[in-house]
Chains A and B, each alone.
Chain A
Amino acid sequence: MQNLTLLDGQKFQITIQRLCRQLIENHNDFSQSVLIGIQPRGIYLAKRVAEELRKILPGHTIEQGDLDITFYRDDFRRRESPLVPNQTKIDFIIEGKKVIMMDDVLWTGRTIRAAMDAMLAFGRPERVELLTLVDRRYSRHIPVAADYVGIEVDSIASQRVVVSWKETDGEDKIVLLSEAK
Chain B
Amino acid sequence: MAGLSTRHLLGIKDLNVSDLQLIFETADNFKTVLNRPIKKVPSLRDVTIANIFFENSTRTRLSFELAEKRLSADVVNFAASSSSVSKGETLIDTVNNILAMKVDMVVMRHPYAGAATFLSKHVKAQIVNAGDGAHEHPTQALLDAFSIRERYGDVAGKKVVIVGDILHSRVALSNILCLKQLGAEVMVCGPTTLIPKYIGALGVKVEHDLIKALNWCDVANMLRIQLERQDIKYFPSLREYTMLYGLNKQILDSLDKEITVMHPGPINRGVEITSDVADSKQSIILDQVENGVAIRMAVLYLLAGQTP
Contact = CB atoms under 8 A, between A and B. Distances in A.
Nearest to B43: A71
A55 interface: no
Given A84-B22, A85-B26, A122 B37 contact: yes
B199 interface: no
A68 B33 CA distance: 11
Interface stretch (A10-18, A73-81, A141-149, A162-170): A73-81
A32 interface: no
Nearest to A70: B29
A82 B32 CA distance: 19
Given A76-B43, A81-B1, A82-B304, 6 more contacts: A71-B43, A72-B42, A76-B305, A80-B3, A121-B37, A121-B40
Contacts of B301: 71, 82
Contacts of B308: 77
Interface residues of B, number: 27
A87 interface: yes
Interface in A46-103: 68, 70-72, 76-88
Interface in A148-162: none
B62 interface: no
A126 interface: no
A16 to B, nearest CB: 30
Contact of A79 (B4, B37, B43, B305): B305
Contacts of B47: 77
Given A71-B33, A88-B29, A122-B36, A82 B42 contact: no
A121 B72 CA distance: 14
Interface in B280-308: 301-302, 304-308
Q: Is the contact region of chain B dominated by helix, strand, or loop, or is it mixed?
A: loop
B124 to A, nearest CB: 15
B25 interface: yes
B41 interface: yes
A121 B36 contact: yes
B101 interface: no
B253 interface: no
A81 to B, nearest CB: 3
A71 B43 CA distance: 5
B29 A82 contact: no
A77 B1 contact: no
Contacts of A70: 29
Given A72-B41, A122-B36, A122-B37, A81 B305 contact: yes
Contacts of B2: 81
Contacts of B43: 71-72, 76
A22 B1 CA distance: 38
A86 B32 CA distance: 11
A129 interface: no
Nearest to B304: A77
A117 B45 CA distance: 14
A80 B307 contact: yes
A110 to B, nearest CB: 14
A84 B25 contact: yes
B29 A68 contact: yes
Contacts of B37: 121-123
| Top 7 A-B residue pairs of the complex, sorted by shortest distance between their CB atoms | A82-B305, A81-B3, A71-B41, A121-B38, A85-B29, A71-B43, A84-B1
